[in-house]
Amino acid sequence: MSVDQKVDGSRRQLLLVTSAAGGVAAAAAAVPFVASLTPSERAKAAGAPVEVDIGKLAPGEMMTVEWRGKPVWIINRTKEMLDSLKKTEGEVSDPNSDKPMQPEYAKNETRSIKPEILVAVGICTHLGCSPSDKFKTGADSGIAADWPGGFLCPCHGSTFDMAGRVYKSKPAPDNLEIPPHKYLSDAKILIGEDGKA
The confidence band for 2, taking pLDDT boundaries of 50, 70 and 90, is: low
How many Å from the N-terminal Cα to the C-terminal Cα in the chain?
Answer: 76
Query: How do residues 148-168 score in pLDDT, each as one tens digit?
Result: 888 888 888 888 999 888 988
Q: Under 8 Å CB-to-CB from 93, ≥6 apart: which residues?
A: 165, 166, 167, 168, 170
pLDDT more than 70, % of the chain:
87
The sign of the torsion formed by the CA atoms of 187, 188, 191, 196 equals negative
- Residue 101 CA to residue 125 CA, distance in Å, equals 10
pTM beyond 0.75: no
Residue 30 burial (10 A CB sphere; 0-12, 13-18, 19+): exposed
Domains and CATH numbers, the chain: 45-191 (2.102.10.10)
The confidence band for 77, taking pLDDT boundaries of 50, 70 and 90, is: very high
pLDDT more than 90, % of the chain:
29
Q: pLDDT value at position 53?
A: 93
Query: How do residues 27-42 score in pLDDT, each as one tens digit?
Result: 888 777 776 666 566 6
Statement: residue 48 has pLDDT above 60: yes
Nearest CA-CA partner of 155 in 167, 170, 169, 177: 170
Average pLDDT in the 9-17 region?
78
For residue 5, give the H/E element and its range.
Answer: helix 3-37
Average pLDDT in the 36-49 region?
65
- Residue 15 CA to residue 24 CA, distance in Å, equals 14
- Residue 157 CA to residue 155 CA, distance in Å, equals 6
